[in-house]
Structure 1
Amino acid sequence: MDPHSSAQDVHRCDLCETAIVHSYCDFCHVNLCKPCIGDHISDGYDKHKIVQFQERRSTLIYPKCETHSQKNCKFQCKDCKNIFVCSSCMASEQHGRHKFVEVTEVFKTKKDNIIKDKQEFENHISPTYEEISRDFENQLANLDGGYEKLTTTMSKQGEQWHREIDAIINKMKTEISQIKVKHRDILQKHLNEIKQIQSLIKEALQTIRKIEKSTEVSSTIEYSSKIREFSKFPPKVQVSLPTFIPKPIDREKLYSLFGQITPLSTATEENVLSLHQPKTSVRELLDKPELFATIQTGYKELQSVTCLNEDRIWTCGETNDIKCFNMKGSLVRTFKIKSEELPNDVAVDSDGDLLYCDWTDRTVRIVKNGQIEELITLPEEWTPNSLCVTSTGDLLVTMFCDDETQSKVVRYSGSTEKQTIQFDDEGKPLYSGNDEIKYITENRNHDICVADYKAGAVVVVNQDGKLRWRYTGHPSVTKNEPFKPSGITADSQSRILTADNNHCIHILDQNGQFLRYIDNCDLKDPYGLCVDNNDNLFVCEFYKGNVKKIKYLK
């Protein structure tokens, strides 16, 4: 049996490779049995450090002095840039009155630093790089699916255009058929008149031929010519066929009308791994946010807003109408939900389809091509509260039970439940149990953020549902009312924005640290929030029924 691969895995001598190890050379880092010790130190005992095997690597190996070859350097001269010195060097004129430090102290300090570095690598740096690597791997794995979804959306737009073009062609064909009927009627009318005259001419000609052959005096004398009557020919009627004048195809205009492909966008953020410093933002906060637009929605109580695209927003309030506005404040479209009650919340998925909560029948519904489809039906004791579409296309739904003792967040993939987030590691509820709306958003780092109005807190968990932090407001002499978050969203910089009934917006970093208020722009009773792809902020003013568009980043 090979002694180096035996099941007992005992340590063997590095010289003879058979005997069990007894000692260790702390200078050469060699395992030794008793008989082999003599052979190993035969070239000079002082060159080696023989210790018990259990005490291996415990002896410090000092550097040899370059000036006094027989001595080891056990000190460092602080005045000579920490060079190594021996006891003879310390007594020499070269180092007179210099300050020295024992190598053992420096060694211990360095060892402690090395152990800390090792822990930093093992606990923070290496896992973070693994996480970054997995993120890129996931992005690459989802790349084909994302682009396939993009081309599918484009194909759907093409199919819709084909349907519209076919409808236009069919309409024009119907118009042509109607013109053809009129054309036929005109020609038939004139043909009938000519046929009638031809019949009269035929009768006159027959009479003439009869008289021509007759010798009867009276009929010949009584004959009256009708040449003048029939010589007045009817006007020539020419009915022209209609023409189709095709308009020239402007490919550039057609391309822009069909849709728009947004350019590839790469957002870069500094990853600070071990120093635990805040991340440097790509876009900094404005010193004073700017009000860009105020959109009057007509709701007496406006509670939700979500961006459809760069130029459209969906809103919902105290009626069963969901309204779409453009940035000029014009009403583009109104959609009436099936129930007579107001929807709890609205959202838009990656295909641009509208989603809304209907608390009357405990459903989440989706509007596709103007048709309402039931996406999710909750169990009888649960009512949907608020919606968020994640970066991966999942749907997060906040909900509460009928007895108002429990609330939770459920993640859905399509109509399939994937995850439930309700309790922390100690089994305590994460969210207050009541029917107050709990707005929800997903941050860029995949954290799930909930504005819990009743609890007066923003509750943030990671994508696995583990509690990361709670934010319960920021002390300010100008904010008199308790912090009550009534809306929440996150921007491209992983900042979290939450509405407060103190007529302001709190801006937090991804770790829950307060950064700034937005308390200008004449905000009154801010409620639901959202940001568009350019990080413009849209704020619902609950009682005024206005949506305000605010720029807060440079």
Structure 2
Amino acid sequence: MMDPRTSAQDVMRCDLCETAVVQMHCDTCLVNLCTACVGKHMISDESKDHKVVKFQARKSTPLYPGCKFHDKERCKMYCNQCDIPVCHKCIGSDQHLGHKVSEILKVVDERKNKFMKEQTDLNETIYPTHQDIVSDVQNRMSQLEKEYEDLSTAITKHGENWHREIDKLVKKLKAEVDVMKNTQLQTLQKHLDEINKKISDIKDEIDSLENATATNDMSKLFSVTIKIQKYRNLPHKIIPSLPKFSPGNVQEEKLSKLFGTLSSSSLTSDKHDYSMKTTQKSPEAGSSPPVKQLLDEPETVTTIDTGYGRLYNVACMSDEEIWTSGDSNTMKLYSINQGSELKSITTNSGYNQINIAVTKSGDLVYTDDTVNIVKNEKIEEVIRLQNWRPKGVCSTSSGDLLVIMNSDDKKQIKVVRYSGSTEKQTIQFDDKGKPLYSPSSRYLRHITENRNHDICVSDERAEAVVVVNQAGKLRFRYTGHTPAPQNQPFCPLGITTDSQSHILTADCINHCVHIIDQDGQFLRYIECGLRYPWGLCTDTNDNLFVAEWRNNQVKKIKYLQ
């Protein structure tokens, strides 16, 4: 049988007698009472000021806090200066003399309103946002599982290819062994046949001599010719020389480099990457791109003649159009598929060797004595500085501009981040106060931002690619790889990145492009018949565009699967 005192279907009972239906409530003690038990409760603790109300009006009586300094006193006021509840005796004491005091009910109402707002913020914004973050992390984990599975599959496939090639090599070597064996056996067999023929002839001579010595017919005796001398010449001894198999020295480290290596994994933390649910996330907050493997043989897809005397830079406007700049004050927009010039922009300054980039919104930005943006075919000057001249420029994922600045006295180089015309960040020295970049006005520098927000600068004078993180802290310097295709010093010029966070830099004198991973590990060269590569850019499909300085051509190269 269901207990009437604990049944959820039963009415509430008095907390004292536990049988009668609740009709009253003590707001002081928070006790439910029946009418008959009210008096009993009132005298149970006469030290308290019991506030007994009808059950429907429970919690309507303010329950003032007891005073910590005066027994049996209730605090109905609040000292704003001391930030504590106070009773009337406290107010009259020297401790709170001259302090601003408020009614505690007013303070309570203000706090309740504040708590209600915070509760609303927690319920409607913060809690849902954290739920979204949980979903985002779970999605990233699922994506990570898939990408690592794809990576393992790629390694397995590469291993299978190696096994096939090794099997082919073993088969080829064993076939060569069989040919050598058969050739030597045939030679020895021929030699054996000749010796056996000679033995047969010797036996015939022996028989002939025996017959001659046994006959009485002197005519037969004198007809025998002695040929023994030729049989005294023994045959040559043929000694076969066996081939030797010299197995290569299988060292784990060398074998690992030949087979392929893994770049290091990393986890970055950006406290600014998430935003509250009411704020729209940027497109960069999406899932990681699919893993793409490097092609064994990169291939040139398209070649575009630009008509410059010397071609320097290229920037992707879209997957169908590219901007170019060369040894004139005119920048040209080309159709990639048609190879035709679509339009041109002439600078106001008349300078050539202009460094160019394309912003997130699709506007052309270039540097001469100033930094300029072309909007609706009109040139707007956005940055001009005293005692500094802009060189390389790129547009970041956040819409900022990163500009390489060269001082007029040719003694300093720095990278400056701009939001519009406002300077946000300067990157110039490492943790030890030494310059990150080699100062010189004659040598060229290019700049780009990687997917992980690293800032990558090609420093021609230093013969290095200098990579710092988003905060400007040096991560590494890449100084080339040996052997270089032309055995010349590393000459880094144009620089770009792709969806895999690879860093690609043009090596002009070695007629190639270096590919390194985001941690500075060399992966491979791209040659493709390049001659004096200068400017670089990649489109959204990871096609590489190379501006050839001397040939005045832009080559579109596919290098990822």
TM-score by length of 1: 0.51
Aligned to 1:505: 395
Q: Is the aligned partner of 1:60 residue 2:58?
A: no
CA distance in 2, matches of 1:312, 1:119: 58
CA distance in 2, matches of 1:547, 1:275: 41
User: 5 Å matches for 1:179-198?
Assistant: 179-198=180-199
Change over 3 Å in CA distance of 1:135–1:162 after alignment to 2? same
Change over 3 Å in CA distance of 1:169–1:68 after alignment to 2? closer
How many aligned positions are there? 350
- Report the residue type matching 2:373 in the other structure: K
Aligned to 2:491: none
Q: CA deviation at 1:170?
A: 1.1
CA distance in 1, matches of 2:9, 2:179: 100
- Report the residue type matching 1:530 in the other structure: S
Q: Secondary structure at the match of 1:76?
A: strand
- Report the residue type matching 1:76 in the other structure: Y
Q: Secondary structure at the match of 1:101?
A: strand
CA distance in 1, matches of 2:141, 2:51: 55
Q: CA deviation at 1:149?
A: 6.2
Change over 3 Å in CA distance of 1:214–1:265 after alignment to 2? same
- Decide whether the 8 Å contact of 1:73 with 1:84 is kept in 2: yes
Q: Secondary structure at the match of 2:13?
A: coil
CA distance in 2, matches of 1:259, 1:215: 92
- Decide whether the 8 Å contact of 1:538 with 1:547 is kept in 2: no
Change over 3 Å in CA distance of 1:98–1:232 after alignment to 2? closer
CA distance in 2, matches of 1:515, 1:276: 24
Q: Is the aligned partner of 1:530 residue 2:499?
A: yes
Aligned to 2:175: 174
Q: Secondary structure at the match of 1:35?
A: helix
Q: Deviations over 1:398-445 (max 9, x none)?
A: xxxxxxxxxxxxxxxxxxxxxxxxxxxxxxxxxxxxxx99xxxxxxxx
Aligned to 1:521: 446
Aligned to 1:446: none
Q: CA deviation at 1:271?
A: 7.4
- Decide whether the 8 Å contact of 1:530 with 1:538 is kept in 2: no
- Report the residue type matching 1:178 in the other structure: V
Q: CA deviation at 1:213?
A: 1.6
Q: Is the aligned partner of 1:481 residue 2:375?
A: yes
List alignment gaps of at least 5 residues for structure 1: 279-304, 320-343, 346-435, 438-470, 484-502, 509-513, 549-554
Change over 3 Å in CA distance of 1:44–1:316 after alignment to 2? farther
CA distance in 1, matches of 2:235, 2:267: 80
Q: CA deviation at 1:110?
A: 1.7
Q: CA deviation at 1:527?
A: 11
Q: Is the aligned partner of 1:229 residue 2:119?
A: no
Q: Secondary structure at the match of 1:31?
A: strand
User: 5 Å matches for 1:38-77?
Assistant: 38-42=39-43, 43-44=45-46, 47-65=49-67, 69=71, 71-77=73-79
CA distance in 2, matches of 1:261, 1:23: 75
- Decide whether the 8 Å contact of 1:12 with 1:21 is kept in 2: yes
List alignment gaps of at least 5 residues for structure 2: 280-288, 304-317, 320-334, 337-359, 366-370, 378-392, 405-444, 449-494, 503-516, 520-535, 548-553
User: 5 Å matches for 1:423-438?
Assistant: none
- Decide whether the 8 Å contact of 2:79 with 2:99 is kept in 1: yes
CA distance in 1, matches of 2:23, 2:290: 75
Q: CA deviation at 1:174?
A: 1.0
Aligned to 1:368: none
- Decide whether the 8 Å contact of 1:531 with 1:538 is kept in 2: no
Q: CA deviation at 1:186?
A: 0.9
Q: Deviations over 1:212-237 (max 9, x none)?
A: 12222233234332122222222222
Change over 3 Å in CA distance of 1:473–1:101 after alignment to 2? farther
Q: Deviations over 1:517-539 (max 9, x none)?
A: 6799389xx99952426559963
Q: Deviations over 1:457-511 (max 9, x none)?
A: xxxxxxxxxxxxxx9689999433369xxxxxxxxxxxxxxxxxxx953422xxx
Aligned to 2:428: none
Aligned to 1:30: 31
- Report the residue type matching 2:83 in the other structure: N
Q: CA deviation at 1:4?
A: 3.9
Q: Is the aligned partner of 1:269 residue 2:270?
A: yes
- Decide whether the 8 Å contact of 2:129 with 2:277 is kept in 1: no
Change over 3 Å in CA distance of 1:126–1:57 after alignment to 2? same
CA distance in 2, matches of 1:201, 1:93: 147
Q: CA deviation at 1:52?
A: 2.7
Q: Secondary structure at the match of 1:521?
A: strand
Change over 3 Å in CA distance of 1:22–1:310 after alignment to 2? farther
Change over 3 Å in CA distance of 1:249–1:315 after alignment to 2? closer
- Report the residue type matching 1:532 in the other structure: S
Aligned to 2:492: none
Which 10-residue stretch deviates more, 20-29 or 263-272?
263-272
- Decide whether the 8 Å contact of 1:76 with 1:83 is kept in 2: yes
Pairwise CA RMSD = 4.8
Q: Deviations over 1:275-329 (max 9, x none)?
A: 8999xxxxxxxxxxxxxxxxxxxxxxxxxx998468989688559xxxxxxxxxx
- Report the residue type matching 2:194 in the other structure: E
CA distance in 2, matches of 1:28, 1:243: 102
- Report the residue type matching 1:3 in the other structure: P
Q: How high is the sequence identity, in percent, across the aligned residues?
A: 33
Which 10-residue stretch deviates more, 85-94 or 232-241?
85-94
CA distance in 1, matches of 2:239, 2:297: 57
Which 10-residue stretch deviates more, 138-147 or 263-272?
138-147
- Decide whether the 8 Å contact of 1:12 with 1:20 is kept in 2: yes
Q: CA deviation at 1:175?
A: 0.9
User: 5 Å matches for 1:433-512?
Assistant: 478-481=372-375, 505-508=395-398
Q: Secondary structure at the match of 1:507?
A: coil
Q: Deviations over 1:35-66 (max 9, x none)?
A: 22222212338521222323322322223346
- Decide whether the 8 Å contact of 2:302 with 2:556 is kept in 1: no
Q: Is the aligned partner of 1:220 residue 2:221?
A: yes
- Report the residue type matching 2:446 in the other structure: C
